Structure 1
């Protein structure tokens, strides 16, 4: 599952004209959006997006940093996980995705795997919890 999410995250970064690299940071902070997938694989997927990452995306998408945090956070989650669904179909992995749910600022989440990425020097995280 992570392979298709990783590919989708890199494509999202590329669409912004940015470079995405993996990192080993464990300093989780930021706003959280959750999408659940159900089907051949069942996970809750959490994107943890720090404010500076949201600012960067807003500036690149809209030309300014005036935005609704929950809408932008959910939209990024939807873009990445929605693209993952399409990629998974190419690998004969079928699942449905839920509507993104904004959970607010990161406090604590029980997860099985954490992936850290840097987008133009800004960290963001994808957490997976198998259901």
Structure 2
């Protein structure tokens, strides 16, 4: 079966699974997917839906946005935001309530700096490289 160009996602998932010290079967069970299906995702043979990615992210205790970027669901412009979100969610030194508050503050700043429709780009400069 030909690869669907999702090898990077599969490699990333495999690395996250190993880092979490989970077997393929354990992650599949935790995410509510079949063992063969997860194996095909890791080998780049299947393209999972956003819902499946969200289930996998929850089971791996990482942000869904991180997997969305890896899968090409989120635009390159969202990569930086996903990185910030991932860093906040992965920080073991703050509790879940503090993480949610930080994410809310971060999002409010992003909205505040986003240019209004029709106003041109008057917000903070955006890196387009």
Alignment TM-score, normalising by the size of structure 2:
0.28
Higher share of residues assigned strand: 1
TM-score normalised by length of structure 1: 0.28
Structure with bigger gyration radius: 2
Structure with the largest fraction of helix: 2
